[in-house]
């Protein structure tokens, strides 16, 4: 991925504007943030003219938001990637979810920020993302291919309640009848449920909630900035009730902490109760930048497991294929047992029935209108590792 549009030439601190474009709207989940802010004294390689803000509101204390006007926001996925889509939108860099295992941590080092605490507390906000999406949708060279969101950091992280970038982004995609998908751990997606339903009437809209386990103690420790797993699954149920086809990425499955038969059973049972259209298990992977941060968490919280992890992962990022295949097989059997993917009475009394396809989009918007792997109940083990 190219980060040139976020680089900052040597610019004195005093040359940075204190008052730039301000976000609008209340924080839907956390009571809003004050409109004021001040400059951070340690500036990363962010674009010239960025505004750095800090806030004292609970839930945002200790955070710094770098408001930038990006040059582009619809980004092509590198050809070498195993991702099953070619285009993404990432309105934020860095993530308040603070998941110890987040694979995107290393991308913060491209900005001369660290992959640990900086990733959790220093968030880049592309305040002009909606207008850039709308411009891209109307450009002569755009063919209307599928766009995936939430594939790097969560587009519905807590800051979205304040900055409100997603309604404008979804609106631009809807108006262009451009197919898209969203992956999120955030319940704030429900704020936009009616807009999503409108989009689903005219183009393909794929929705997935991420919940790898239901253990509340582990949740508080390993992904402390996220809504509780139960609340995420409630959001999935609400989306399905509205007639929006929503599945669950059961990820990550954390070796030795969430992978016992009883734990997998309990998680899949709760996923099934949401009316989820599919479930896709994803085994924890530890890419560079993430590996050291996660192992630091493991040493502090579960020191007895460190040697087992070093043995399981070796020097690589992925668990052995045999382990991945075993987890996929177990979840497949549990999904069949609990009826995931089968029609369920009481769901889908909304814009259209679950599984019913919308009217075909315009010829411009067809392109790669679907993510084949995201429509399948169980991706192959090699695919599981790259979707979250």
Residue 316 structure tokens: 């690589």
pLDDT at 346: 52
Please tell me the distance from the alpha carbon of residue 168 to that of residue 186, in angstroms, as a whole number: 18
Please tell me the distance from the alpha carbon of residue 29 to that of residue 167, in angstroms, as a whole number: 16
pLDDT at 286: 96
Give the phi and the psi of residue 184 in degrees, each rounded to 5: -150, 150
Quick one: average pLDDT of 266-280?
Answer: 97
pLDDT at 112: 87
Spatial contact of 94 and 154, defined as CB atoms under 8 Å apart: no
> Any idea which residue has 């030795």 for tokens?
256
- CA 92 vs CA 152, 233, 237: distances in Å: 9, 23, 26
In DSSP notation, 41-83 reads SS--SPPTT-EEEE--STTTTT-EEEEE--S--EEEPPTT---
pLDDT at 47: 59
- Give 361-387 pLDDT, tens digit per residue: 443 333 333 333 333 333 333 333 333
Least confident range of 105-109, 168-172, 244-248, 351-355: 351-355
- Give 135-176 pLDDT, tens digit per residue: 999 999 999 999 999 988 999 999 999 999 999 999 999 999
% pLDDT > 90, the chain: 66
pLDDT at 45: 55
- Give 129 or 31, the one with higher predicted confidence: 129
Radius of gyration of the chain (CA): 20
Q: Is the pLDDT of residue 122 over 60?
A: yes
Spatial contact of 109 and 289, defined as CB atoms under 8 Å apart: yes
Q: Is the pLDDT of residue 277 over 90?
A: yes
- Give 346 or 174, the one with higher predicted confidence: 174
% pLDDT > 70, the chain: 75
- Give 234-252 pLDDT, tens digit per residue: 999 999 999 999 999 999 9
Residue 289 structure tokens: 């930048």
pLDDT at 266: 98
pLDDT at 57: 82
pLDDT at 123: 95
Residue 317 structure tokens: 């990022």
Spatial contact of 112 and 136, defined as CB atoms under 8 Å apart: no
Split at pLDDT 50, 70, 90, the class of 85 is confident
pLDDT at 48: 60
Least confident range of 104-118, 244-258, 272-286: 104-118
Spatial contact of 281 and 258, defined as CB atoms under 8 Å apart: no
Give the chain's mean pLDDT.
Answer: 81
Split at pLDDT 50, 70, 90, the class of 352 is very low
User: Nearest to residue 113, comparing CAs of 64, 162, 172?
Assistant: 64
- Give 42-67 pLDDT, tens digit per residue: 445 565 667 888 888 877 888 999 99
pLDDT at 34: 34
pLDDT at 44: 53
Residue 125 structure tokens: 């906000």
Helix/strand number for the chain, H first, E second: 14, 11
- Give 186-222 pLDDT, tens digit per residue: 999 999 999 999 999 999 999 999 999 999 999 999 9
Split at pLDDT 50, 70, 90, the class of 111 is confident
pLDDT at 8: 32
Quick one: average pLDDT of 312-328?
Answer: 96
Least confident range of 89-103, 231-245, 282-296, 332-346: 332-346
């Amino acid at each position: 991925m190219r980060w040139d549009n976020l680089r900052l030439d040597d610019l004195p601190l005093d040359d940075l504007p204190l008052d730039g474009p301000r976000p609008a709207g209340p924080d839907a989940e956390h009571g809003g943030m004050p409109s004021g802010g001040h400059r951070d004294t340690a500036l990363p390689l962010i674009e010239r003219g960025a505004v750095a803000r800090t806030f004292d509101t609970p839930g945002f204390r200790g955070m710094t938001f770098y408001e930038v006007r990006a040059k582009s926001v619809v980004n092509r996925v590198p050809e070498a990637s195993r991702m099953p889509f070619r285009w993404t939108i990432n309105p934020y860099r860095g993530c308040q979810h603070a998941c110890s295992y987040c694979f995107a941590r290393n991308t913060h080092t491209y900005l001369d920020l660290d992959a640990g605490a900086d990733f959790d507390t220093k968030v880049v906000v592309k305040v002009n993302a909606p207008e850039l999406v709308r411009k891209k949708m109307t450009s002569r060279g755009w063919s209307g291919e599928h766009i995936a969101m939430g594939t790097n950091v969560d587009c519905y992280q807590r800051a979205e309640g304040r900055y409100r970038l997603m309604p404008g982004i979804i609106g631009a995609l809807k108006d262009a009848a451009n197919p898209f998908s969203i992956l999120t751990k955030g319940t704030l997606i429900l704020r936009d449920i009616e807009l999503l339903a409108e989009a689903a009437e005219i183009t393909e809209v794929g929705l997935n909630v991420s919940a790898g386990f239901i253990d509340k103690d582990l949740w508080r420790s390993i992904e402390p900035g996220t809504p509780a797993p139960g609340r995420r699954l409630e959001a999935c149920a609400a989306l399905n009730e509205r007639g929006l086809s929503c599945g669950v990425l059961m990820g990550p499955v954390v070796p030795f902490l969430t992978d016992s038969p009883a734990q997998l059973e309990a998680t899949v049972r709760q996923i099934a109760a949401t009316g989820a259209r599919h479930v896709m298990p994803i085994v924890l992977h530890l890419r560079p930048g993430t590996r050291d941060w996660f192992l630091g968490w493991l040493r502090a919280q579960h020191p007895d497991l460190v040697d087992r992890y070093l043995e399981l992962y070796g020097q690589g990022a992925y668990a052995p294929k045999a382990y991945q295949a075993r987890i996929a097989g177990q979840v497949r059997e549990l999904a069949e047992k609990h009826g995931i993917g089968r029609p369920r009475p009481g769901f889908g009394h909304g814009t259209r029935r679950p599984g019913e396809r919308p009217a075909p989009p315009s010829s411009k918007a067809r392109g790669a209108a679907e993510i084949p792997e995201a429509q399948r109940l169980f991706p192959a083990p090699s695919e599981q590792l790259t979707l979250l």
